[in-house]
């Protein structure tokens, strides 16, 4: 077993590596990482020789078959297409949905993500590979929305996590892979796309206008009269670290007594960034254990210096969509007693993929599994919160009523008539229950508040209000407690 000490300075990197939840975002991600290649396997030399002999034999037979086709097939062979098909099949044979070959045609998606801007709708979604689909499970057939970003076409349309996109411009998505669906949703700003959405038993259509999407990974502010710092991290990328440090420096100047880190619906990303953030709070102790093929392990440990004094209390917010690198940070903070975890159980993805450029495309390969610093398993298990706070979720009946009031623009019209963003206007909003059905008041007030927020200028939309967020309220109570 090797011991490694995490250094924040190694965040500018060459190896491309991602760790995400179970899915593809609307635009696939490219994430730089200092998380290096796996250590050499401990397999015996004779075993390796046997494997090499088998690979040599298989490649010889494959070459013969390839040349046979090239010689006798009645038309010219498209060599690029044949190569990509063979590479794709090789990864599919692994039976691991996180390992795949990304063909050259999809390379532009990665470039766009690296720039952080694209013409689209503002959502992350996941879609099961066709060969893994189960006709009895709709979540394996359709695009499952994982996250909707604020101030985007999707957020203004009222789409939310776990909605199913079943058709794009009247094209059934079942026979399409995630990259094809992403390509159909993207486009030039100002153009439109029609989504057919299923929410529970309800199915409805929305025509959305594409916009230039540029979603930041970090937003921060102070609350409680400047005594508590609040950081929301939507994913871990190479830019996340600098934004996080800026937040900490501002909080230090404000002399805050506590910090709330919001990782809800953060599907993961750059492992080294998550570890560096944990290292900023933890003075001594293990942060993460990574296990490679053959059983060899890397244990990452904290440095002796921190950015945040131990006197500053920390609350960390999570939910069922907090995955991968989010769980690494959560586990490190929890196991080292540095934060109180608040919310609901996390997703449970404890395996690591390295994504690297290869030829004209990219490859994603699961290379290791990992456990928290306390050696607790993550994959398929998740992390239980210290303080459980259920999320506010619509019932099926409420979702049906909301679909109706959205299509009739009831909330939008109300805000048009009552443009002042005040608690009084939010509390006064009501619907015709005889026409639309019942929606709890606590749900309505959140919905109308979102409409007000979405109409604010982009730099004014990050508003933290514990009156509308039970998790934030619980975190404030924890930090203000003795």
Same domain, 382 and 412: no
For residue 13, pLDDT beyond 50: no
Report if residue 101 sits inside a domain.
no
As a whole number of angstroms, the distance between CA 253 and CA 307 comes to 12
Provide the residue range defining the domain that includes 446.
396-480
Report if residue 115 sits inside a domain.
no
CB 373, CB 289: distance < 8 Å: yes
Q: Hey, what's the torsion of the CAs at 388, 392, 395, 397, to 10 degrees?
A: 160
Same domain, 257 and 322: yes
Same domain, 375 and 234: yes
As a whole number of angstroms, the distance between CA 419 and CA 427 comes to 14
For residue 28, pLDDT beyond 60: no
Same domain, 379 and 428: no
pLDDT band at 217 (very low <50, low <70, confident <90, very high): confident
Q: Express as a percent the part of the chain with pLDDT over 70.
A: 87
Same domain, 333 and 382: yes
Q: Provide mean pLDDT across the span 327-355.
A: 94
Per the prediction, the chain carries an average pLDDT of 85
CATH of the domain at 277: 3.90.226.10
pLDDT band at 113 (very low <50, low <70, confident <90, very high): low
Report if residue 319 sits inside a domain.
yes
Same domain, 323 and 447: no
pTM of the model: 0.70
The residues near 15 (Cβ < 8 Å, ≥ 6 apart) are: 32, 33, 34, 35, 36, 37, 354, 356
- Rg, Å, the chain Cα set: 24
Least confident of 146-150, 174-178, 195-199, 430-434: 146-150
For residue 52, pLDDT beyond 80: no
pLDDT computed for residue 27 by the predictor: 30
CB 448, CB 417: distance < 8 Å: no
Same domain, 176 and 225: no
Into how many domains does the chain fold? 3
Same domain, 377 and 422: no
Same domain, 419 and 437: yes
Same domain, 232 and 339: yes
CATH of the domain at 171: 2.30.42.10
CB 150, CB 454: distance < 8 Å: yes
Report if residue 381 sits inside a domain.
yes
More confident residue, 477 or 460: 477
Q: What separation in angstroms does the CA of 33 have from each of 10, 38, 246, 339? A: 9, 13, 20, 25
For 221-247, write each residue's pLDDT tens digit.
Answer: 999 999 999 999 998 987 899 999 999
């Amino acid at each position: 077993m090797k011991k490694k000490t995490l250094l924040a300075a190694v965040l500018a990197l060459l190896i491309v590596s991602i760790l995400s939840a179970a899915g593809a975002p609307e635009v696939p991600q490219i994430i730089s990482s200092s998380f290096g290649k796996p250590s050499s396997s401990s397999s015996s030399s004779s075993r390796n020789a046997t494997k090499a002999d088998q690979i040599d034999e298989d490649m010889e037979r494959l070459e013969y078959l390839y040349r046979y086709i090239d010689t006798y097939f009645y038309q010219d062979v498209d060599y690029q297409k044949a190569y990509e098909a063979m590479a794709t099949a090789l990864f599919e044979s692994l039976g691991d949905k996180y390992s795949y070959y990304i063909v050259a045609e999809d390379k532009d998606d990665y470039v766009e993500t690296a720039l952080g801007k694209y013409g689209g709708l503002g959502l992350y979604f996941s879609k099961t590979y066709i060969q893994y689909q189960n006709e009895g499970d709709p979540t394996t057939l359709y695009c499952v929305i994982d996250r909707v970003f604020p101030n985007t076409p999707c957020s203004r349309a009222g789409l939310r996590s776990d909605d199913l996109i079943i058709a794009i411009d009247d094209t059934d998505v079942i026979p399409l892979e995630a990259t094809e669906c992403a390509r159909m949703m993207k486009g030039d700003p100002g153009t439109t796309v029609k989504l057919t959405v299923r929410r529970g038993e309800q199915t409805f259509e929305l025509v959305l206008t594409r916009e230039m999407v540029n979603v930041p990974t970090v937003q921060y502010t102070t609350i409680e009269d400047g005594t508590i710092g609040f950081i929301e991290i939507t994913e871990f990328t190479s830019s996340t670290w600098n934004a996080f440090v800026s937040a900490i420096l501002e909080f230090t100047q404000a002399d805050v007594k506590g910090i709330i880190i919001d990782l809800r619906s953060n599907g993961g990303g750059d492992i080294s960034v998550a570890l560096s953030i944990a290292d900023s709070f933890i003075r001594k102790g293990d942060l993460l254990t990574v296990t490679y093929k053959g059983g060899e392990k890397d244990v990452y440990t904290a440095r002796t210096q921190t950015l945040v004094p131990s006197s500053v209390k920390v609350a960390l917010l999570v939910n069922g969509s907090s995955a991968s690198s989010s769980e690494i940070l959560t586990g490190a903070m929890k196991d080292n007693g540095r934060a109180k975890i608040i919310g609901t159980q996390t997703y449970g993805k404890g395996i690591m993929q390295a994504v690297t450029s290869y030829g004209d495309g990219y490859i994603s390969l699961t290379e290791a599994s990992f456990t928290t610093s306390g050696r607790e398993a993550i994959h398929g298990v998740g992390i239980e919160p210290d303080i459980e706070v259920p999320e506010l979720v619509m019932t099926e009946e409420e979702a049906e009523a909301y679909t109706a009031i959205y299509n009739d623009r009831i909330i939008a019209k109300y805000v048009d008539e009552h443009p002042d963003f005040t608690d009084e206007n939010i509390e006064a909003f009501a619907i015709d229950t005889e026409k639309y059905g019942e929606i709890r008041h606590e749900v309505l007030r959140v919905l109308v508040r979102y409409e007000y927020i979405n109409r604010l200028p982009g730099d004014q939309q990050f508003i933290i209000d514990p009156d509308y967020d039970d998790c934030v309220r619980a975190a404030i109570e924890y930090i203000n407690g003795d």
